[in-house]
């Protein structure tokens, strides 16, 4: 029965999860960029630590950063003029100011506590990893292979994500019958208030929405003048790009940006458009800065080439940024949006979202008109209400 879920602890959901890679809150944006390019993880956790008292050290995760944070930061007008100077600013420049987005949770906390925190607005749950004999072997192997994972106050931590909770509930979906078979429309979990931008609007006008969608773990819809859904600018897709995409955001339309960041190298015609428009705006120094930065920050895979890096080549690689060799194992997703119908069942939507590794699905009608969005958070609210009746 569903009663079994009431006694589940968050440690049950954290088994086998890798420890967080971390940066100090005193690091610079450039440090974060280098860490992201040298990691096979999309996010790097940021920690504030105070060890002035030897008896009681203080360490707390205050946020996380990804390539989308860096890109949105570089898109600010002042930073476009001198990206290299912008990257020397403290990491706090790109961290969300709301401390409630990150919550520390004990391994013994209940699953219901985790769900309640997510529904209250927490986007990142940080949980200490419970040491086991098996995990000790794993840590030794990681150390031997050169993987660097930081511990804080002698403990390692992991993220507990909305996807983790939804995946766990899906494993016990039969306990919630008949809820899973009901349509998302009948359950009332479709949110009509979405982040959206017109196809022909400047991509730069969507930067605020992109940053907000990253925090909300959703996306930005691209619509035509009639409100029909065309596609999306997804933080997940942007996270697979490098910092030079800021040049595309500053010069292209929202629709063209979709094509630019699609899986693989951006189209040559759009690369030429970006270069021409940067020149018109006297932002050519921006490309020069990006060329230098690309050589300075984690370009290990390019070391075997004797060719000098050019601004054109730097932009041409923007759709897929160069990481360490482990980057080849990362999942890349096309900019094509994942959609469902208002009459889709709850369980079908859950499976579809998990299969595509997204936290949301766009809801559209047969004529492609946008109805809204359904998120993991919406789904969790339904499950939480059901558990209250048990």
Residue 49, beta-bridge partner list: 59
Q: Which of 139-153, 187-201, 284-298, 366-380 is least confident?
A: 139-153
**Is residue 122 pLDDT above 80, yes or no?**
yes
pLDDT at 333: 45
pLDDT digits (tens, 9 = 90+) for 151-208: 676 789 999 999 999 999 999 999 899 999 999 999 999 999 999 999 999 999 999 9
Confidence label for 138 from pLDDT (cuts 50, 70 and 90): very low
**Is residue 330 pLDDT above 50, yes or no?**
no
**Is residue 308 pLDDT above 50, yes or no?**
no
Choose among 240, 234, 261: nearest CA to 353: 234
**Is residue 146 pLDDT above 90, yes or no?**
no
pTM of the model: 0.85
pLDDT digits (tens, 9 = 90+) for 29-72: 999 999 999 888 889 999 988 766 554 457 889 999 999 999 99
Q: Which of 132-146, 262-276, 348-362 is least confident?
A: 132-146
> Which residue, chain included where needed, has tokens 């931008």?
197
CA dist 326 and 188 (Å) reads 42
Cβ atoms of residues 217 and 358 within 8 Å:
no
Measured distance between the N- and C-terminal CA atoms of the chain, rounded to whole angstroms: 9
Confidence label for 302 from pLDDT (cuts 50, 70 and 90): very low
Whole-number percent of the chain with pLDDT over 70: 78
- Residues 130-139 as b or e (16 or more Cβ within 10 Å = b): eeeeebeeeb
pLDDT at 112: 93
Average pLDDT (237-248) is: 91
* Token representation of residue 1: 């029965």
Q: How many CB atoms lie within 10 A of CB 66?
A: 19
Relative to beta strand 124-128, strand 102-104 is parallel
Q: What is the mean pLDDT of the chain?
A: 83
Structural domains of the chain, with CATH: 13-132+150-160 (3.10.580.10), 196-296+335-389 (3.10.580.10)
């Amino acid at each position: 029965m569903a009663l079994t879920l009431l006694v589940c602890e968050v440690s049950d959901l954290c088994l086998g999860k890798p420890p967080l890679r971390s940066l100090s809150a005193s690091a610079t944006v450039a440090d974060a960029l280098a860490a992201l390019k040298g990691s096979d993880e999309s996010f790097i956790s940021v920690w504030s630590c105070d060890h002035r008292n030897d008896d009681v050290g203080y360490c707390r995760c205050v946020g996380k950063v990804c390539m989308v944070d860096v890109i949105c930061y570089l898109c600010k007008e002042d930073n476009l003029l001198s990206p290299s100077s912008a990257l020397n600013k403290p990491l706090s420049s790109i961290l969300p100011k709301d401390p409630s987005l990150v919550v520390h949770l004990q391994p013994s906390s209940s699953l219901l506590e985790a769900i309640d925190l997510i529904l209250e607005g927490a986007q990142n749950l940080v949980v200490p990893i419970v040491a086991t004999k098996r995990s000790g072997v794993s840590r030794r192997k990681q150390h031997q292979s050169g993987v660097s994972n930081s511990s804080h106050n002698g403990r390692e931590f992991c993220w507990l994500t909305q996807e983790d909770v939804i995946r766990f509930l899906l494993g016990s979906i039969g306990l919630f019958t008949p809820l899973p078979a009901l349509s998302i429309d009948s359950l009332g979990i479709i949110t009509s208030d979405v982040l959206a931008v017109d196809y022909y609007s400047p991509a730069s006008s969507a930067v605020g929405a992109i940053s907000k969608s990253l925090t909300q773990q959703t996306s930005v819809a691209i619509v035509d003048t009639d409100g029909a859904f065309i596609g999306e600018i997804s933080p997940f897709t942007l996270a697979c790009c490098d910092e030079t995409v800021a040049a595309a955001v500053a010069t292209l339309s929202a629709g063209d940006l979709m094509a630019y960041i699609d899986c693989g190298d951006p189209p040559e015609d759009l690369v030429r458009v970006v270069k021409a428009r940067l020149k018109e705006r006297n932002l050519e120094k921006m490309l020069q800065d990006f060329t230098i930065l690309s050589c300075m920050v984690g370009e290990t895979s390019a070391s075997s080439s004797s060719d000098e890096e050019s601004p054109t080549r730097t932009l041409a690689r923007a759709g897929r940024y160069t990481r360490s060799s482990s980057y080849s194992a990362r999942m890349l997703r096309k900019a094509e949006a994942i959609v469902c119908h208002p009459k889709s069942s709850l369980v079908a939507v859950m499976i579809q979202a998990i299969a595509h590794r997204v936290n949301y699905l766009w809801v559209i009608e047969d004529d492609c008109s946008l109805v809204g969005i359904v998120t993991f958070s919406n789904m969790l609210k339904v499950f939480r209400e059901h558990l209250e009746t048990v």
